[in-house]
Structure 1
Amino acid sequence: MPFTNSVLITGGTTGLGFQAALVIARQHPEYHVVIASRTDKDSAAKTINDTLKENNVTFLPLDLASVANVRSFVQKWETEKFPPIIALLLNAGLQFPKELRKTGDSVESTFAINHVGHALLFHLLFTNLATGARIVVTSSGTHDPAQKTGLPDAKYTTAEELAHPTPESAKTSGRQRYATSKLVNILWTYALNRRLEKLPDMGLTVNAFDPGLMPGTGLAREYSPVLRAAWIHVLPRILPVMRLLASSNIHSPKESGKYLARLAIGDDVKGISGVYYEGHKQIKSSTESYDEAKQEELWEWTVKNVAASKEELHTFDIGK
């Protein structure tokens, strides 16, 4: 039986993305579920297919830090003639807690991976979206100073400064860069939602999602060996204690994966757009995230800097 639609999940080979892919593939064997990451060293696609005794999950390599790689990924997608995308989960993310890093395109790595690569992927795949497609952007409660997550407060100045830090802003800690990138995710979500509202015939929706703190995921791969070992081997075993002492918004990847899958395919959230979810609950995001001037500055910078031609500049700025 041919697949009816596609689901694309970035960062879908481990943790949150893997668990969401498993749920979606189980509930919709008629969907072609594509998990995209730099590598699939644990054979995640095969694991899901073997678990479900299906063959509807495929791995495609994707490096969000590279503009050229994102473009080649989309070229392959279109060459393979995959069916229309019914759910686009922009989920991958990295944190670089140490010194400033830049990609081969000379963009600060946290901003490049957590935002720029995803935005370019969205724009290039826009014509491949099915009517009624859902876009979900994985953010984090760390974007909101009021949540007191333990990370430095997010600090949004301009998109240009986040992409190409000045000598002074280059001193910003990697943990603050991560929190700011999660704020960027929400600013971009709200800017995109306003534009999708001008295209009602397409029926597209976009929402931001906070999976909560999930010890054991690959987010800490850049941490020191001691902290990484604690994150992977110790903290996942004491989740109930952590919820009691720290926050109720602490989950296993399996729990949060179900919440992410719900936003992608759940009937009860169909048609909802332009909002922020903490797990299964719709809540308010940070005060700063509703600043339309910042949303628009980010949108305009992004379109200008990911477009490779005047034609792309025109087509990427949707809803005009």
Structure 2
Amino acid sequence: MVPGPLWKYPDVLARTGAFPRAHTTAAGRTAYSTSKLATIYLVHEYARRLPAGIDAVTYNPGFVPGTGLARNAGPLSRFAMRRVLPLMALTPFANSRGVAGRHLADVVLGATEAPTGSYVDRGSAARSSEESYDPQRERELWDAAERFTAAHTRSVPQSPCR
């Protein structure tokens, strides 16, 4: 249902129309999967940079029908997502919103062991895709995020508590 990511330099990804046939559902789904890859890259970089005691992990709830992911899809896809695919939550191939939420709570509360930089797939830490381990892309994305936000962070007043 969702194509694999199509990584490009962060300055390209930050702009609309980064993917071929930008107006299509396929391009939107590619942007979605690419944003998930970017999240993993940033978490790896956070794990290297954050002080000890502050952890960053990524969480994949798996396929969770009923979340509105296909709200802008065609009528047939919307019907399937609302009426047919929720039945998949009765199988190992999907989770209900409640189960996905419980797995997330377990990660946040420490009931699921997930050291900093981990990728948690549903209820346990797992290895993410081979593509998601690329320190050069992780640094490039971090540097780009700093550039993109630099003007905004200079204009935000600092808290007197710092």
Aligning the two structures, in what range does the TM-score lie when normalised by the shorter sequence? Answer: 0.7 to 0.9
Q: Secondary structure at the match of 1:171?
A: coil
2:88–2:94 Cα contact (<8 Å) kept: no
Aligned to 1:152: 3
Would you say 1:281 and 2:135 are equivalent positions?
no
**Amino acid paired to 1:279:** R
Q: How is 1:129-278 mapped onto 2 (pairs within 5 angstroms)?
A: 150-164=1-15, 169-171=19-21, 173-196=27-50, 199-200=51-52, 203-240=53-90, 243=91, 248-267=92-111, 269=113, 272-278=115-121
Matched residue pairs, number? 152
How far off is 1:250 after superposition?
1.1
Q: Would you tell me which structure has more strand in proportion to its own residues?
A: 1
- Native 8 Å contact 2:64 2:94 kept in 1: yes
Question: Percent of pairs identical after alignment?
Answer: 32
Structure 2 residue 146 is matched with structure 1 residue 303: yes
- Secondary structure of 1:206's counterpart equals coil
- After superposition, the C-alpha distances for 1:34-63 in whole angstroms (9 at most, x for unaligned) are xxxxxxxxxxxxxxxxxxxxxxxxxxxxxx
Q: Deviations over 1:75-107 (max 9, x none)?
A: xxxxxxxxxxxxxxxxxxxxxxxxxxxxxxxxx
Q: Give the TM-score of the pair, scaled to structure 1.
A: 0.44
Shift of 1:237: 2.8
Q: Which runs of 4 or more aligned residues in structure 1 lie more than 6 Å from their structure 2 counterparts after TM superposition?
A: none
How much does 1:299 deviate?
Answer: 0.6
SS in 2 for 1:189: helix
Query: When the two structures are superposed, what TM-score results if normalisation uses the length of structure 2?
Result: 0.83
Aligned to 2:151, what secondary structure does the other structure show? coil
Whether the 8 Å contact between 2:112 and 2:124 is mirrored in structure 1 is no
**1:209 aligned counterpart, secondary structure:** strand
Q: What is the Cα deviation at residue 257 of structure 1? A: 0.5
TM alignment of 1:37-48, pairs within 5 A: none
Give the residue type in structure 1 aligned to 2:113.
Answer: V
Please report how far the alpha carbon of residue 249 of structure 1 lies from its aligned counterpart in structure 2 after TM superposition.
3.9
Greater relative contact order (Cα < 8 A, sep 6+) = 2
Work out whether residues 217 and 232 of structure 1, in 8 Å CA contact, stay in contact via their aligned partners in 2.
no
Q: CA deviation at 1:216?
A: 1.1
What residue ranges of structure 1 are gaps of 5+ in the alignment?
A: 1-149, 316-320
Q: Is the 8 A contact 1:207 1:275 kept in 2?
A: yes
Alignment match of 1:291 (pick from 125, 134, 147):
134
Partner residue, 1:63: none
Q: SS of the residue aligned with 1:282?
A: strand
2:121 aligned partner, one-letter code: E
Task: Quote the Cα distance in structure 1 between the aligned partners of 2:69 and 2:85.
Answer: 14
CA drift of 1:155 comes to: 1.1
Whichever residue aligns with residue 31 of structure 2, its letter is R
**Structure 1's 293 and 206: CA in aligned 2 closer, same or farther, altered over 3 A?**
same
Residues 182-208 of structure 1: CA distance to partner in whole angstroms, max 9, x if unpaired?
111101111111101xx22xx110100
1:44-123 aligned at under 5 Å gives the runs none
1:256 partner letter: A
Structure 2 stretches of 5 or more lacking a match?
none
